Amino acid sequence: MLDETLLDAPEALALADRRDLLRGAAEAGARVRTAARHAAEAGIAELSPEGRPRTVLVAGPGVAAAGVADLIGALAGAAAPVIRLQPTGVAHAAGALRWALPGWAGSMDLLLVPTTDGSEPGLALLVEQAYRRGLTVVAVAPAASPLSDSVNGSRGLFVPLAMAPHETAEESAGTPGAGPVALWALFTPLLALLDRVGLVEAPPEALDQVADRLDRMAERCGPAIATYGNPAKTLAAELADSLPLVWTEGEAAGPVGRRFAAVLAELAGLPALAGELPEALPAHGMLLAGGYAAGADPDDFFRDRVEEPQALRARVVLLRDRPAEAGALSAVPAARELALGHETAISEVEPEAGSALENLAELLAVTDFAAAYLSLASAGLTATAG
């Protein structure tokens, strides 16, 4: 169960935050600026590509790489297919993971390799395979990692992973891969690259705007801001003891919703399901009418709140990638009607008006902060902090 009193106790949150989740979320804007500078220093700004790649392939481990691939695919749209190469192996460990190129991949394709580790032998083998088949390779990884030698030796482009000034290589390696630090350190240089090849509009000034929006969200969602005025704390409190059904509308909201569900599971231990509207309505409709419905157990009122654990109840989270517009085609009214018809509570998150990248950054910031608060205010971490 969520200890809501911890949400408004900044000192207690700091003691519980042993993985620096809140600091990572607060430093997202600074991480974007550092990563953009590293991308420029690596030579991305001077690239003169000869046309767009046929396909963009993305290979890397964990939630961070999966989120980067998903976000790039949404932003690229119809400009080029974006395919994540799924790793195989007997365990999720650097030495056990392997990646393979599709049989059709060749000189017209682009391989992106984002990783916060860089010691994966499977990625080095993939880079060598890509070099033999003529693919262009761009990697983002720690500067002193074995992967940097592989990429440079294969005539690829290597961008050092952005780190905070106070951060050591050992501390960077211990940063949760599902946290915002990993996402923005990997995502930002690849945005700059894809801008140069004409797949995504992300010029330097746009990345500056993203960093500024992340800074503003850190002020709004930080631990010193009380729950009633803090959108991330409010969302965390609303999702406590629930089964979140994350319904998204808009191309950029889809990957944010899927990342939110993955981060909730990995960082907060909370199961969640994500789906895009309007298909989420039939896909999750039975959850609102079945055992997870708000009124599923008529005896729940008489349950011993101390001795018996509370059953999860579905709660809809509506994520939109832009402010609602009057008269716009939208499935949100139908989603509200379905949820309220089953007495299911709804949380809604939408960004302030801005560019597509700024709106995306705001959604990621709110959901990342909310996941961090849910993780820290869980009963286990509360007991540990005390």
Which tens digits make up the pLDDT trace of 238-263?
A: 998 899 999 999 999 999 999 999 99
Which tens digits make up the pLDDT trace of 158-168?
A: 999 998 776 66
Contact between residue 262 and residue 270 where contact means Cβ atoms under 8 Å apart: no
Which tens digits make up the pLDDT trace of 54-65?
A: 999 999 999 999
When mean pLDDT is compared across 126-135, 172-181, 207-216, the lowest value belongs to 172-181
* Four-residue CA torsion sign, 181, 186, 187, 193: positive
Own/partner long-range contacts of 37-43 (Cβ < 8 Å, ≥24 apart): 37/162, 38/159, 38/160, 38/161, 38/162, 38/189, 39/159, 39/188, 39/189, 39/192, 39/193, 40/192, 40/204, 42/157, 42/158, 42/159, 42/160, 42/189, 43/157
Query: What's the Cα-to-Cα distance from 106 to each of 110, 111, 123, 129, 139, rounded to whole Å?
Result: 9, 10, 17, 10, 17
| Residue 382 confidence (pLDDT) | 43
Give the residue-averaged pLDDT of 188-210: 96
